[in-house]
Amino acid sequence: MITMAQYYDIQRMHFRECKSKRTIAKELKISRRTVKKYLTEGKKPLRPPTWRSIKLRPAPVIEEVRPLIEKWIREEESAPVKQRHTRKRIFERLVTEHCFTGAESTVRKEVGRIRNKIKEDYLPLEFQLGDNIQCDWGQAQITLNGTQKRFTFCHEHTQNYLQTRIYTTKAGYPPLAKRSNYFRISI
Give the span between the Cα atoms of 69 and 91, in whole angstroms: 9
Answer whether residue 113 is part of any domain: yes
Answer whether residue 74 is part of any domain: yes
Question: Which tens digit of pLDDT belongs to each residue from 42-58?
Answer: 555 555 555 666 676 78
Cα angle value 3/5/11 (rounded, 5°): 105
Q: What is the residue-wise DSSP string for 68-106? A: HHHHHHHHTTTS-GGGSPPHHHHHHHHHHHH---S-HHH
Answer whether residue 143 is part of any domain: yes
Q: What is the mean pLDDT of residues 25-32?
A: 92
For residues 105 and 138, membership in a common domain is answered with: no
| Three-state DSSP class for residue 165 | strand
Taking CA atoms, 167 is separated from 101, 139, 162, 176, 183, in Å, by 69, 10, 17, 11, 7
For residues 111 and 67, membership in a common domain is answered with: yes
- The total domain count for the chain is 3
For residues 112 and 64, membership in a common domain is answered with: yes
Query: Does residue 20 or residue 132 have the better pLDDT?
Result: 20
Is it the case that residue 180 has pLDDT exceeding 50? no
> Where a domain ends, among 118, 142, 163?
118
For residues 73 and 103, membership in a common domain is answered with: yes
Question: Which tens digit of pLDDT belongs to each residue from 86-126?
Answer: 999 999 999 999 999 899 999 999 998 888 876 655 555 56
Is it the case that residue 74 has pLDDT exceeding 70? yes
Phi, psi of 25 (to 5 degrees): -60, -40
Answer whether residue 124 is part of any domain: no
Phi, psi of 136 (to 5 degrees): -115, 125
Give how far the C-alpha of residue 87 lies from the chain's centroid of Cα atoms, to the nearest Å. 24
Domain with 26, as residue range(s), is 4-39
Best CA proximity match to 38, nearest among 49, 26, 30: 30
Answer whether residue 103 is part of any domain: yes
For residues 68 and 99, membership in a common domain is answered with: yes
Q: What average pLDDT does the chain have? A: 77
Taking CA atoms, 164 is separated from 143, 160, 168, 180, in Å, by 19, 14, 13, 15
Answer whether residue 81 is part of any domain: yes
Give the span between the Cα atoms of 126 and 110, in whole angstroms: 33
Q: What is the pLDDT of residue 161?
A: 67
Give the span between the Cα atoms of 32 and 12, in whole angstroms: 16
